[in-house]
Each structure stands twice: as C-alpha cells, then as structure tokens.
Amino acid sequence: MDSEPLQLRRLGRRPYVPVWEAMRAHTAARGSETPDALWLVEHEPVYTLGRNAATEHLLDAGEIPVVAVDRGGQITYHGPGQVLAYVLLDLRRRGWAVRGLVEALEQGVIDLLAEHEVVGARRPGAPGVYVDGAKVAALGLRVRRGCTYHGLALNVDMDLAPFARINPCGFVGLPVTQLSALGVRLDAEAAASSLARHLRRRLDRPTFRGAAAPAGTEIPTMEADPR
C-alpha cells in the first residue's frame, strides 16, 4: 500500500531521556491517521541499558549517566558527533515486515557509505552496519501495537573513548568506528541530512512486505551480539 512520505523533524542536540519519553508518548497516542516520522537528533553523553542488559558489561561509567530503557539488547553509548535517526512508523498501515524495515535502515547507511566509496556490510544475527568488521552504525527498534520507535545510531565524528568503558553489544573487544576515521568528511549536521535523504529514499518505497509485527516485539537492538 502507498503511504505518505515521512515527516522529518530535526531536534538538534538533546538529552536522551526527554526524547525517549517523547517517542513513547508519540507511539502511545498514535491513531490510524498519525503521520509516520523520522526524528534526527544528537544526544548528550549517555549509556543506555537495554532490557536484556547484564550489568557486568558496564565497566566504568564514570561521570556519564546510565539510563535503563525499553528496548532489547545490551549496553551502548550515545554522545555528540553521533547522529540518531528515530523511526516512528505504523508497520501495519504500510504492510511492512519488521525484517524488511531493519534491512531498509541498514541499506540507507550502506548507500550513504557507498556515496563516499566506503563499503558497508551487514552481519548475520547482529543488526547494524560494519566496515571491515568494525561497527559504524547500530540499529534497534521497539514495536508496540504495530508501531515502531527507537531507530539507528550513526557514528560520525565523535569521541569513541566511552565505548572502551563498556563491552559494546555485550561483546568484549567489539571494534567501533566512525565516518571521520573512514575518510568521510561530514560534520554531524551534514551527515544527518545525507542520512535522512538515503533513509527517506528507502523508507518511502512501499517495498518491504510481510506480516505485521506482533505487539510488544523487540528487535535485537544497538547491542546485538555479533557472535
């Protein structure tokens, strides 16, 4: 079925919790005519613990806040220089499968990388995008009543040191990279614009078909174990 184009919201730099609460409220209040949306944001430094997170994977939070959230998966880090693309969609209305949506999000990042002659790849059983085995984009969704929130995090030009204070994805030694280290010279604002363009091109296509997601579905999130 055809759907209206995604509404784009640029939120700038915000603390994590108010944006998370806004996503939950938006999803809870959705009606059959609520437009689908793509929210772009950078967060202040924060570690987030998924519903399956083991505390031993938080090695040394230091001064960085830790927030337990309502997604699956383990622990990850968000901070300035990382672009978050939160995807608030009604899967049932679009007739999409969850797996198709995950693949569309990953493909949007792969397309962005290809535009800069960088080869991005998927990893079986570990949602996200990798370059030479290092994770450049992490992906996680929560589905309630057939509607998604959360989304993906693209490392652009950030301080990667906080990742060394956790076991990213609950996996010791998982390498993490970013656009700047791959020779892609974009600041966060330009990267957000490019990411939005590629994601909208993928998400505005009614090509990802399949059964509607069951209520309460959790997709292995930004910390899916790559093993």
Hey, where are the domains in the chain? 7-203
Q: What is the predicted pLDDT for the residue at 56?
A: 81
Q: What is the predicted pLDDT for the residue at 167?
A: 66
Those residues whose C-beta lies under 8 Å from the C-beta of residue 212, and which sit 6 or more positions away, are 91, 92, 95, 146
**pLDDT tens profile 132-145:** 999 999 988 899 99
Catalytic residue among 141, 152, 153, 169: 169
Q: What is the predicted pLDDT for the residue at 76?
A: 86
Those residues whose C-beta lies under 8 Å from the C-beta of residue 25, and which sit 6 or more positions away, are none
Secondary structure (3-state) at 76: strand
Q: What is the predicted pLDDT for the residue at 10?
A: 98
**pLDDT tens profile 86-100:** 999 999 998 889 899
169 is catalytic: yes
Would the pLDDT of 3 be above 70?
Answer: no
Domain 7-203: give its CATH code.
3.30.930.10
CA–CA gap between residue 7 and residue 133 (Å, rounded) = 33
- Give phi and psi for 166, each to the nearest 5: -135, 170
Model pTM score: 0.88
> Scanning the structure block, which residue is given the tokens 């309460």?
216
